[in-house]
Amino acid sequence: MSFIKSKSELIEYFLKGIKNQNQLKIGVEHEKFLFSGKEKRRVNYEELKIIFKKLEKFDWKPIYEKESIIGLKRGEQQITTEPGLQYELSGAPLKIKSEQMLSKVKKISKNKLLIISVGGIMTADDALKRIRMGADLVQIYTGLIYQGPSLVNEIRQKLS
C-alpha cells in the first residue's frame, strides 16, 4: 500500500474516481431475516451456510472471510450476512426491472391508479420514457443531484 504524499497525488486519486454521466448509478440493498418453517425461529449461521451452499448450484460464488462463508456473489449481485445474521441482498441498479414493472402496473390498473415513477431518472429522455411507459408523474431527485435545476426545464421542453 502506498500513501499519498502530495496535493497533486491526492487530486490524481480523486480524478481517477470520477465517472462519466452514463456510469452514474444508484444500487439497492434489502435486508431480510430468515425464519425456520417449523419452529418459527430465526435461522442460525450453520443453517444459513446450508442455504448458501444450495445457492452455489445456481452460479452464486462464495465470499469468504478466513474460512467462514459470509456471502455469495453473482455478477453485480450479492447476498451477504450481517452481524445480526440477517442477510442483505445488494444488486445492480434496478432500472430495467423498474421500467418493466411500470408498464405492467399501468396495464393491470387500467388507469385507476396514479403512478409515480421513482429512481434512476437522470435525464429528460429518462423522464419522457417513463411517462410513455405509463407514469403519471416522475420523481427526479437523483437527476437533480447530478444535473442540477436545469433538468426541470429540459424535461418541460421534451414534454411540450
Among residues 72, 91, 110, the one where a domain terminates is 91
End-to-end, the C-alpha distance of the chain in Å comes to 54
Residue-level pLDDT at 44: 86
CA angle 19, 91, 21 (to 5 degrees): 20
Among residues 91, 120, 150, the one where a domain terminates is 91
30 in a structural domain: yes
Longest Cα–Cα distance of the chain, Å, equals 62
Residue-level pLDDT at 30: 62
Instruction: Determine the average pLDDT of the residues in 10-29.
Output: 77
18 in a structural domain: no
Task: Find where cell 453473482 sits.
Answer: 74
The 10s digit of each residue's pLDDT in 89-124 is 666 555 666 777 788 888 887 777 788 888 778 899
The 10s digit of each residue's pLDDT in 24-62 is 666 656 677 777 777 778 888 888 888 888 889 889 999
Instruction: Determine the average pLDDT of the residues in 12-22.
Output: 83
Q: Which of 105, 130, 134 is nearest to 119 (CA)?
A: 130
- Read off the DSSP letter of residue 1: -
User: CB-based contacts of 86: which residues, under 8 Å, 6+ apart?
Assistant: 31, 32, 33, 34
Among residues 45, 70, 91, the one where a domain terminates is 91
The 10s digit of each residue's pLDDT in 65-91 is 899 999 899 887 888 888 777 777 666
On whether both 80 and 102 belong to a single domain, the answer is no
CA angle 69, 74, 75 (to 5 degrees): 140
The Cα 62–Cα 78 span in angstroms is 10
77 in a structural domain: yes
* pTM, 2 dp: 0.48
Where residue 132 sits, what CATH number does that domain have?
A: 3.40.50.12600
Look at the chain and report how many structural domains it folds into.
Answer: 2
